[in-house]
């Protein structure tokens, strides 16, 4: 018994010694930091304040941890709050630092960047001729935002392009409409552009307006993510029970699990979810949840792989620390970080081209004395619905991935109807 006590005492003494040494090393490094700061303040060619030096030192320390951790000044905190509400000035792109270079996660639909042709995975090499190499993510975002109506010049490196692409974009107030929806016959279509405060409510509202649909396509392509609670809320609309997502940090005991609630009105029709390399963060949570719970078929190409959790910790002076504190895991326990969501069915984007021989085929309109559409319109009035449907069909054919998703949902509806007939 005495030997056991002696061993425990020795171990504790050793641990204390290690802790004391660690603290001593820490204070030695802090002394060096203070010494360096004093030398810079007194000897640097230009006058710099101690506040600037300390702020920059904190930025450097935090940004060296990972691409998503950052120190936020008071102004940065204001911008972050504005961004999550869905109205802010800028270009309309979500960016990250990937392997140390400024990379586009996704352009937000209907924004200046989207219209200018910016694509997911584009590398922003220069902004107005200034290199982005070595920039922090926060500084890069700040330099790209500006007064609406002002122009910005981006130098883009794109995979497959032989040389850098030069793009001019005019800044604008970015109004991010979180949800869009429409119908393709019996198939409903919901596009989520970004996960914001009211996204789950907007999706629920869209579902109520998509009456009498027998299947649904949820489009998460180029959705850079957003709020965790919004992703949980959207997922909860489609599953009755089970895990939606889990968050695990350094300590296993701090793991959080988020579960679905049975509202007894969850849709039962077939669902296809579209994803691509611009599908990130919150949108990956939804895709992973519906896939693992076997509630939807995932179609497209592998997602971005941004599966880390950032907590915003307020500091006494109004600034804040955005710190990576955990990682997201899908219901089956798979990490999203740097891996992404694999689609069940891989469909790359393509464009359907009319066959060359098709233009030589003879149709009704090519026959002599064929009945003119104009005469029909004069007699019976304009067929507005037909024109509208033709426009929608053209849009659908121009989006190969969406066309395949709608086709798959229709096939699933047909399969279910066939089963019901057989059972009867």
The residues annotated with a catalytic role in the active site are 281, 292, 306
Euclidean distance between CA atoms 235 and 86, whole angstroms: 21
Contact 350, 400 (CB under 8 A): yes
Rounded to the nearest 10°, the torsion over CA 114, 119, 120, 123 is: -120
The phi and psi torsions of 21 (rounded to 5 degrees) equal -65, -40
Q: Measured in Å, how far apart are the chain's first and last C-alpha atoms?
A: 78
Contact 265, 246 (CB under 8 A): no
Euclidean distance between CA atoms 394 and 407, whole angstroms: 15
What b/e sequence results for 201-215 when a residue is b if at least 16 CB atoms lie within 10 Å of its CB, and e otherwise? ebbbebbeebeebbb
Euclidean distance between CA atoms 62 and 70, whole angstroms: 5
Which residues sit opposite 335 in a β-bridge? 329
Contact 150, 170 (CB under 8 A): yes
Contact 218, 180 (CB under 8 A): no
Euclidean distance between CA atoms 220 and 179, whole angstroms: 10
Q: Which residues contact 289 (CB under 8 A, 6 or more apart)?
A: 235, 239, 243, 244, 245, 295, 330, 331
Angle at which helices 228-236 and 199-209 cross, to 10° = 30
């Amino acid at each position: 018994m005495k030997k056991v006590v002696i061993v425990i005492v020795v171990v504790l003494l050793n641990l204390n010694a290690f802790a004391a040494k660690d603290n001593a090393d820490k204070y030695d490094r802090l002394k060096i930091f203070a010494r360096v700061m004093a030398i810079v303040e007194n000897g640097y060619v230009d006058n710099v304040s101690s506040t600037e030096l300390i702020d920059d030192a904190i930025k450097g320390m935090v940004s060296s941890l990972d691409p998503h951790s950052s120190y936020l000044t008071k102004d940065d905190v204001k911008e972050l709050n504005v961004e999550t509400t869905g109205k802010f000035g800028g270009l309309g792109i979500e960016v990250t630092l990937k392997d140390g270079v400024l990379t586009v996660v996704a352009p937000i639909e209907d924004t200046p960047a989207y219209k200018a042709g910016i694509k997911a995975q584009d590398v922003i090499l220069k902004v107005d001729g200034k290199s982005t190499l070595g920039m922090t993510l926060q500084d890069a975002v700040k330099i790209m935002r500006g007064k609406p109506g002002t122009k910005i010049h981006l130098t883009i490196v794109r995979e497959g392009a032989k040389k850098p692409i030069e793009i001019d974009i005019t800044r604008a107030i970015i109004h991010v409409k979180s949800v869009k929806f429409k119908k393709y016959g019996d198939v409903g279509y919901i596009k989520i552009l970004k996960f914001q405060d009211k996204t789950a409510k907007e999706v629920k509202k869209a579902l109520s307006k998509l009456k009498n649909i027998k299947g649904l396509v949820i489009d998460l392509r180029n959705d850079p993510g957003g709020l965790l609670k919004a992703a949980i809320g959207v997922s909860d609309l489609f599953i009755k029970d089970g895990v939606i997502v889990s968050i695990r940090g350094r300590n296993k005991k701090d793991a959080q699990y988020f579960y679905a609630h049975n509202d007894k009105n969850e849709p039962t029709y077939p669902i296809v979810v579209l994803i691509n390399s611009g599908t990130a963060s919150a949108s990956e949570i939804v895709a992973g949840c519906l896939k693992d719970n076997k509630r939807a078929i995932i179609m497209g190409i592998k997602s971005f792989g941004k599966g880390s959790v950032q907590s915003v910790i307020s500091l006494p002076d109004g600034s804040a620390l955005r710190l990576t504190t955990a990682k997201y895991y899908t219901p089956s326990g798979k990490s999203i970080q740097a891996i992404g969501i694999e689609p069940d069915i891989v469909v790359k984007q393509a464009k359907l081209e009319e066959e060359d021989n098709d233009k030589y085929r003879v149709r009704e309109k090519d026959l002599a004395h064929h009945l003119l559409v104009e005469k029909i319109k004069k007699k019976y009035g304009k067929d507005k619905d037909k024109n509208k449907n033709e426009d929608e069909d053209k849009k659908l054919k121009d989006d190969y991935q969406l066309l395949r998703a709608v086709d798959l949902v229709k096939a699933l509806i047909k399969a279910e109807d066939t089963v019901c007939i057989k059972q009867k």
